[in-house]
């Protein structure tokens, strides 16, 4: 039986889109089904991209809401599908310990740095500012901390010759897109 997943996004949704493509036509076909793509921002560009691909999409707004109110609304929404896994793909809201406790080792995130060296926002900015020759992309389970959960897999991003932060981010995202679905496949199969 394919596992069911819900993908949570906040913005562009390029990682989400790749997972959708792999689920519809690639290595995740038959491995999982995507019950819905949920954003915490109504203007997240990824929402319409997912809708265009035939997915159920919705917004559970978080702006100006107390964390517990937002998370209660998210939990109520998720109850409709009772997904096996939550897949975070550029979801920029920190989830509380009580929310995470509903999905032990069932929330997966991609972080664009080695989570042992960098947590939180701005990972590509950090790599550029520190003139790293290589950074890492980390896929990890979400625990009660910020990017502190058990590491599932890490992949290097070669940064030699990078001259701008935009170029660095492009290289990093290319690696993210290549690896996220592969790692999800290993977990979900
Ligand atoms: C990615 O770099 C992801 O690792 C980070 O936020 C960015 C989201 O990009 N958590 P996108 O929305 O998937 O294009």
Q: Is 102 a catalytic residue?
A: no
| 138-142 average pLDDT score | 98
91 CA to centre of ligand 1 in angstroms: 8
List the residue whose alpha carbon is closest to atom 3 of ligand 1: 90
- Residue ranges lining ligand 1, Cβ < 6 Å: 9, 11-16, 46, 89-90, 110-112, 173, 176
Report the alpha-carbon distance of residue 29 to residue 12 in Å, rounded.
Answer: 23
Q: What is the pLDDT of residue 17?
A: 98
Q: How many CB atoms lie within 10 A of CB 71?
A: 20
Q: Average pLDDT for residues 141-147, to the nearest whole number?
A: 96
- Confidence bin at 94 (pLDDT 50/70/90): very high
What is the value of pTM for the model shown?
Answer: 0.97
Q: Which pairing describes strands 107-111 and 3-9: parallel, antiparallel, or unpaired?
A: unpaired
Ligand 1: centre distance to CA 15 (Å): 6
At 156-172, the pLDDT tens digits run 999 999 999 999 999 99
φ/ψ of 125, rounded to 5, equals -60, -45
Pairing of the two strands 57-59 and 3-9: unpaired
Question: Where do the DSSP E strands lie in 82-144?
Answer: 85-88, 107-111, 134-141
* CA 179 to ligand 1 center in whole angstroms: 13
Instruction: Compute the distance from residue 72 Cα to the ligand 1 centre, in Å.
Output: 24
What atom in ligand 1 is closest to the CA of residue 9?
12
For the CA of 109, the nearest atom of ligand 1 = 10
Angle at 181 between CA 74 and CA 70, to 5 degrees: 10
Predicted pLDDT at 131: 98
* CATH numbers and ranges of domains, the chain: 3-188 (3.40.50.170)
User: Which is the closest atom of ligand 1 to the Cα of 92?
Assistant: 10
Q: What is the pLDDT of residues 23-57, one digit of tens each?
A: 999 999 999 999 999 999 999 999 999 999 999 99
With contact defined as beta carbons under 8 Å apart, do 33 and 22 qualify?
A: no
């Amino acid at each position: 039986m394919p596992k069911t997943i819900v993908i949570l996004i906040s913005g562009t949704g390029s990682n989400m889109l790749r997972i959708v493509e792999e689920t519809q036509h690639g290595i995740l076909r038959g491995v999982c089904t995507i019950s819905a793509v949920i954003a915490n921002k109504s203007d997240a560009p990824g929402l319409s991209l997912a809708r265009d691909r035939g997915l159920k999409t919705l917004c559970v707004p978080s702006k100006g809401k107390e964390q517990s109110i937002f998370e209660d609304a998210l939990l109520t929404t998720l109850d409709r599908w009772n997904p096996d896994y939550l897949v975070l793909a550029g979801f920029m809201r920190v989830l509380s310990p009580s929310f995470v406790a509903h999905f032990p080792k069932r929330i997966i995130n991609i972080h664009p740095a080695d989570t042992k060296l960098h947590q939180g926002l701005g990972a590509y900015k950090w790599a550029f500012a520190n003139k790293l020759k290589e950074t890492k992309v980390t896929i990890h389970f979400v625990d009660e901390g910020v990017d502190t959960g058990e590491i599932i897999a890490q992949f290097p991003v070669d940064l030699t010759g990078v001259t701008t932060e935009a170029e660095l981010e492009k290289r990093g995202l290319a690696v993210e897109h290549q690896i996220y679905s592969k790692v999800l496949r290993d977990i979900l199969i």
